[in-house]
Amino acid sequence: MITKTGSDFPILEFDDSEDALIEPSRFIRAGTPPEHCVICFFNEVVERIAREKQAKNFFNRNWESGKHKFYEIEHLGKRLAFFQPGVGAPMAAGLLEEAIAFGMRKFIACGGAGVLQSDIKLGKLVVVTSAVRDEGTSYHYQRPSREIDAQEGTVKVIEQTLLKNSIPYIKGKTWTTDAAYRETREKIQLRRTEGCITVDMEASAFIAVANFRKVKFGQILYSGDDLSGEEWDERNWGKQKQVRENLFWLAAETCLNL
């Protein structure tokens, strides 16, 4: 049933029906994949690990942007899947949907994010506890709201893994937006007053899909470029090779603990 939230904006017309016309489970035949899966935004890390660990390519999804490969390795004595989800909430959420339809059930995402506080140093790990829903995808999975909370149990497992490995981290709210080139100074300040410490493009959609499909999901970000000043500071965040690969393995260990 479609519910309107006092507005003529289509994005606020939430339909709570669990059955969509194009339901992933109807065209993706469930397999026997690992139940644990790392969603890694660092394509170079995904491809290097797949090559060096001689990963099995067990599942593929073809989108117009190209083929998205799902890999499997053995890690810490368990089966582990991993894949790169593209960029932006629609594609990332769609690939998560397809992974769930195929049979995966426990997910940890790892990626980078801009920081909204200058004192958050480059490479600092951030455990996502909630997200401001400034993207469109999540509104098709959950009733309109300003924010969405991460799964409390999964956040605890992430923290336990980081503490076990003596990895410093911070927890906080992220601002999920569809428009990387419309992060205006006024909006950045507004998000800071709401308590956001990072900005990303997928977190709130991931959480909404996971909740809708009743699977476990959590996300770890590493602090990248700095949007807290009058000018954007890129900080060479995409070249932090060791941070990016280390984060993959931390996400892997965390996922296997779910």
For 115-173, the pLDDT digits (tens) are 999 999 999 999 999 999 999 999 999 999 999 999 999 999 999 999 999 999 999 99
Q: Which amino acid appears at position 79 of this protein? A: R
Number of CB atoms found within 10 A of residue 21's CB: 5
0.75 surpassed by pTM? yes
What pLDDT shows up at residue 238? 72
Structural domain includes residue 135: yes
Does residue 11 form part of some domain?
no
Average pLDDT, the chain: 95
Task: Judge whether 16 lies within some domain.
Answer: no
Domain-located, residue 17:
no
Q: Confirm whether 242 is domain-assigned.
A: yes
Average pLDDT, stretch 183-204?
Answer: 97
**Count of the separate structural domains present in the chain:** 1
pLDDT over 90, % of the chain: 90
Output 221 or 242, whichever has higher pLDDT: 221
How many Cα atoms within 13 Å fall on the side-chain side of residue 94? 13
The pLDDT confidence band at residue 2, using thresholds 50, 70 and 90, is low
Distance CA 53, CA 81 (A): 12
Say what percent of the chain tops pLDDT 70.
97
State how far the alpha carbon of 251 is from the alpha carbons of 81, 82, 92, 102, 124, in Å: 12, 10, 17, 21, 15
Residue among 50, 14, 38, 140 nearest 96 (CA) = 38
Q: Name the band, by pLDDT with cuts 50, 70 and 90, for residue 237.
A: confident
pLDDT higher at 29 or 129 = 129
pLDDT at 236: 85
- Rounded to whole angstroms, the Cα distance separating 131 from 199 reads 9
Residue 1 has pLDDT above 80, yes or no: no
In a domain, residue 4? The reply is: no
Q: Residue 60 falls within a domain, yes or no?
A: yes
| Banded pLDDT at 196 (limits 50, 70, 90) | very high
pLDDT tens per residue, range 50-84: 999 999 999 999 999 889 999 999 999 999 999 99
Domain with 221 in it: 31-256
C-alpha 191, offset from chain centre: 19
Bridge partners of 56, per DSSP, are 72
Q: Are 207 and 217 in contact (CB under 8 A)?
A: yes
Output the domain CATH number for residue 246: 3.40.50.1580
Predicted pLDDT of residue 5 = 64
Confidence band (pLDDT; 50, 70, 90) for 7?
Answer: low
Q: Give 174's contacts (C-beta < 8 A, 6+ positions apart).
A: 113, 126, 128, 130, 131, 132, 196, 197, 198, 199, 200, 203, 204, 221
